[in-house]
Structures are given as structure tokens and as C-alpha cells.
């Protein structure tokens, strides 16, 4: 094969030409060193000193020491990261005090602080208004003081004895120690004016519903009193002292009354309602 002239392009080998690859001793030694070289997790190269490629005990201890250093470094990094996260969370929960200049710079998009507190003067006014004025949603102790003071302030009810006061969805429930005390507070309503806010005394009612009641037998539009007397007489309620407070057909206002309907009966005591539930309704 003729050598190409110096400086000219080399011709690529054809199918009929053979190429040979030569390996020098230096190339072989270099590749052997790379294959036998170990690498730790930290990226440091570790090569055994034994020509046969075996790792001695000294080298094992050296490798263990290197791994311990890596673990200590990673532990310190994790601890520092956790400390930074805690500091970030703390800074997010603390609301910085804003000046009027900062609020004016942001325009109308200023967001009020979540932990906003009223000035001490405003807090005093709010507490005074809530405590001194009688109304709904007051603490039981405050309601107890208001009602007892109002009863004692009037000569007609100053002898009324209150057993306890509870709360309901619509107001407060007063329990008197005796029937005379309850009648005294019910018949003399001057003490209610002491409470203010148009406070009214409402006697609790207890209702039952009688389904498929003949509507022709009870005229509730013009003769409610006669209907109540008829029910009391037919069901022998007078001998127990039960009194009916109200009667009403349980239907929508825009719906016509049929031959049968559900009749609502409200008693002035729980015993009256329980008596009708046990013995049924006679008409």
C-alpha cells in the first residue's frame, strides 16, 4: 500500500482494506487503573494500594472515616435547613406593624391584620355595653343578675323567688321555686320594663299534632274557643286541669283546606301534651 503524500487528505478505507487498532502499554495501564478505582459517595476517588486490587484493613477504616465525615456534614446541613424553615414559619405568623405611609402607598388593597385588637378605650366601651344592656346571647351569670335585679326593683315582684335561669334558642327560661312566684312574675309585668329592649314574658307551650283530623268538625277561623272547649270535653282534660293555648291547621297558607288535615294542639304544660300522646285524641 502506498503512503499518501505529506499534507494530502487521507482516503477512507474501503471494504477491501483492513484496519488495525494498536494498544500501547501506556493505554493498557491507564484503563486498568480506571476500572480498579473505587469512588465514595462524596465523589472522592479511592484506589486500593494493593497491586492485585484487594482492599486492606487500613483502607477500610479510612473509607469508614470518610463516610462518617460525609454523614456529619449532611446532618449539619439538615439541621441548618430545619432551623431556617422554623424561622420562616415564625416570620409568617408575626404581622408587622404598618405605618400610615405604608398603608397609603398600597392604596385600597391594604389587608387588615388577622390579630387586630381594639384600643383599650374601645375595649372598655364594648365590655360596658355588653354587660350593662340586657339582650340575647349574654352569659348566664349576667342574665341571672339582670333578671333578679329587675324583679327586686318592683314592689309587686320583689318576693318572687327564682330557682334558676337557662338559655334557649329564642331567649331565656326562668324557673321559679313556687307556683306563686311564677304567677306573681306573670301577672305583674312592670319588672320587664326594667330590663328594656322591649323584653316580653312568653309562657312556654307544648304541642302535639293529630293527623287526618276531620276539618268539618272544627271551625278554627271563627270558633277557636268553641273548638278548644270541645276537645277538652271530649278528651276529659278538664279534670286534670290541662289548658289548650292554641289550635291551628298544619298546612301552607296558599293551600286549600281539605276534608282531612293535620291539627296542631298547643298545651300550657308538658303534662297535657304527654297525656294526649298516651291516651290518644278523641273527636
3-state SS, 145-207, equals HHHHHHHHHCCCCCCCCEEEEEECCCCEEEEECCHHHHHHHHHCCHHHHHHCCCCCCCCCCEE
pLDDT at 197 over 70: yes
pLDDT at 99 over 80: no
Q: What pLDDT score does 171 carry?
A: 86
pLDDT at 1 over 50: no
Give mean pLDDT, residues 252-272: 91
- Decide: 250 and 209 in contact? Cβ < 8 Å: yes
pLDDT at 57 over 80: yes
pLDDT at 27 over 80: no
The residues pairing with 207 across neighbouring beta strands, listed in sequence order, are 266
pLDDT 10s digits, 123-182: 433 333 345 688 888 898 999 999 999 999 999 999 999 999 888 878 888 989 998 998
Least confident of 42-56, 62-76, 123-137, 253-267: 123-137
Task: Report the percentage of the chain scoring pLDDT > 70.
Answer: 66
Q: What pLDDT score does 16 carry?
A: 45
Give mean pLDDT, residues 25-39: 46
- How is residue 26 annotated by DSSP? H
Q: What pLDDT score does 161 carry?
A: 92
Q: What pLDDT score does 173 carry?
A: 86
Using alpha carbons only, give the angle 176, 177, 181 rounded to the nearest 5 degrees. Answer: 60
Mean per-residue pLDDT over the chain, rounded? 75
Which residues are within 8 A (CB) of 271 and not within 5 positions of it... i.e. 6 or more apart? 240, 242
Give mean pLDDT, residues 87-103: 56
Give mean pLDDT, residues 263-275: 92
Confidence of residue 31 (pLDDT cuts 50, 70, 90): very low
Across the beta sheet with 260-267, the strand order is 206-214, 260-267, 244-249
pLDDT at 212 over 50: yes
Amino acid at each position: 500500500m502506498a503512503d499518501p503524500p505529506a499534507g494530502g487528505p487521507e482516503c477512507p478505507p474501503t471494504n477491501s482494506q483492513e484496519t488495525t487498532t494498536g494498544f500501547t502499554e501506556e493505554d493498557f495501564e491507564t484503563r486498568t487503573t480506571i476500572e480498579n478505582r473505587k469512588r465514595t459517595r462524596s465523589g472522592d476517588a479511592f484506589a486500593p494500594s494493593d497491586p492485585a486490587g484487594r482492599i486492606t484493613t487500613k483502607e477500610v477504616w479510612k473509607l469508614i472515616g470518610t463516610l462518617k465525615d460525609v454523614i456529619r456534614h449532611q446532618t449539619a446541613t439538615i439541621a441548618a435547613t430545619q432551623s431556617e424553615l422554623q424561622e420562616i414559619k415564625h416570620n409568617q405568623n408575626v404581622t408587622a406593624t404598618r405605618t400610615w405611609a405604608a398603608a397609603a402607598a398600597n392604596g385600597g388593597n391594604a389587608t387588615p391584620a388577622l390579630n387586630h385588637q381594639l384600643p383599650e378605650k374601645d375595649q372598655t366601651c364594648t365590655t360596658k355595653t355588653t354587660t350593662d344592656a340586657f339582650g340575647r346571647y349574654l352569659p348566664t351569670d349576667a342574665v341571672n343578675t339582670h333578671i333578679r335585679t329587675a324583679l327586686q326593683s318592683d314592689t309587686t315582684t320583689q318576693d318572687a323567688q327564682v330557682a334558676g335561669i337557662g338559655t334557649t334558642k329564642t331567649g331565656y327560661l326562668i324557673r321559679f321555686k313556687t307556683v306563686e312566684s311564677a304567677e306573681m312574675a306573670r301577672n305583674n309585668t312592670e319588672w320587664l320594663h326594667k330590663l328594656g329592649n322591649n323584653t316580653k314574658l312568653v309562657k312556654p307551650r307544648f304541642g302535639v299534632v293529630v293527623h287526618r283530623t276531620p276539618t268539618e268538625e272544627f271551625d278554627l277561623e271563627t270558633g277557636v274557643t268553641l273548638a278548644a272547649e270541645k276537645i277538652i270535653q271530649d278528651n276529659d282534660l278538664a279534670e286534670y286541669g290541662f289548658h289548650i293555648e292554641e289550635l291551628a291547621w298544619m298546612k301552607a297558607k296558599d293551600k286549600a283546606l281539605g276534608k282531612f288535615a293535620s291539627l296542631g294542639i298547643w298545651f300550657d304544660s308538658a303534662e297535657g301534651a304527654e297525656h294526649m300522646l298516651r291516651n290518644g285524641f278523641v273527636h
